[in-house]
Structure 1
């Protein structure tokens, strides 16, 4: 029986594994918008990215309801982004996305959106590694203390 030199066997095994790994990568591929991160900031979740909009796999992570208004914090697992959606909103109601700073009740505003009765959702914000909540401020309210309320953070 003829034996193959050790060096040649190692090279053959390496070449075979390389071809197998390349084929697996091509077959599986990656999602068109896998965690688009900050590239998704301030983009419309219903149309961005054009190949597979983030709104397509969104879930409602948290909800707040008061005075005939329902505020939802929406989350896209594939894009790792959040945005707010409002039902029953009045013209000029304000929606604020806030990042939780990890301690107590300290939040930092990251996106503000004013509802004017057409589009019912805000733009997106990358929430990778952070927790975000959506808050609703009535059109006549001028300070954060006069907010109607917020969703929980997610």
Structure 2
């Protein structure tokens, strides 16, 4: 004798499968685009190339896509050459500096210095500072640190040119 419950159980299984499949592809209409894609929106950079010279990479949003090109260590201090492709600008970042230490970024063209921006660590700065930016469009940039704390040496070390 056949059970009367089997067709009902089979129908329920088909119905549950259909509802589950439909809910897997359903996205609520009120979902925000950021929530759906998972990528946060960034503010656009406010300068490009020569218009970035002397400006702050954080305030201009150039830091948003920045990469570290090279870094060097000198007596526990780290100087980094930072570069933003979106802004076509570069700057120096100094970590573990001491008051009086100086970091600078320079650009060159045909072996001649085009621009330099520097910063000196002050007691109220803490140990990490960064320079204003220099234009890096069609130029080569380099970051350096220098200090007079080593006997008989000026204590200068630079990154590669990029």
Whether TM-score is above 0.5 comes out as: yes
Q: Equivalent residue for 1:46?
A: 58
Superposed CA RMSD: 2.4
Aligned residues: 115
CA deviation string 1:32-88 (max 9, x = no partner)? 33861222111111111xxxx000110001111110000000001100110011111
Equivalent of residue 117 in structure 2, options 111, 126, 141: 111
Distance in 1 of aligned mates of 2:45 and 2:66: 13
Where structure 2 has 5 or more consecutive residues not aligned to the other structure, the ranges are: 1-42
Q: Residue 138 of structure 2: which of 115, 129, 137 is its match?
A: 129
Query: Any unmatched runs of 5+ in structure 1?
Result: 1-30
Normalised by the size of structure 2, how large is the TM-score? 0.62
Q: For residue 97 of structure 1, what is the aligned residue in structure 2?
A: 105
Point out the structure with max Rg over C-alpha.
2
Given the alignment of the two structures, is residue 36 of structure 1 paired with residue 42 of structure 2, yes or no? Answer: no
1:23 corresponds in structure 2 to none
Q: How does 1:11-30 map to 2 (within 5 A)?
A: none
CA contact (8 A) 2:148 2:154 kept: no
Say which of 41, 65, 80 aligns to 1:72: 80
Structure 1 length normalisation: TM-score?
Answer: 0.65
Structure 1 position 153, deviation (Å): 0.7
Name the CA distance, whole Å, in 2 between partners of 1:42 and 1:122: 8
